[in-house]
Amino acid sequence: MDTGIALKILNDNLTLCVVLILSIMMNSRTTLRLAAILLLLVLASCSPESEETMNAIPYPLDTCLVTDEAIGEDPDMEAYTFVHGGREIVLCCKGCLKSFNQEPEKYLAKLQPPAKPASND
């Protein structure tokens, strides 16, 4: 496991660590069992997707990759973010995911820098 991820888990779960230490000090079986269950839940939430998301190339646009609408423009629509091929993708809503999945290359092409014109040297 990456050190950064381990530190994030510890920072996010300081309360859990305190409960574990107190349960050991108090020798309370109930508290120790509760802490063990909480620890298992925390470890289960540390999926490979978490590491992939943390290392993903950030999304460079302020618009939906599918509709070209500004992200967050419509307050009734919740933006949908996911990682595809090591790159963060942001859509204006989860509904756009179906279109993206049908033709990902078409939409990913929007993230490529424009081609430089050939020089006539």
Distance CA 79, CA 81 (A): 7
Residue-range domain boundaries for the chain: 3-45, 53-111
Give 66-108 pLDDT, tens digit per residue. 999 999 888 898 999 999 999 999 999 999 999 999 999 999 9
User: Residue 80's beta-bridge partner residues?
Assistant: 91
Axis-axis angle for helices 3-12, 14-26 (nearest 10): 70
Predicted TM-score (pTM) of the model is 0.55
| Closest residue by Cα to residue 2 from 59, 48, 57 | 48
Q: What percent of the chain has pLDDT over 70?
A: 56
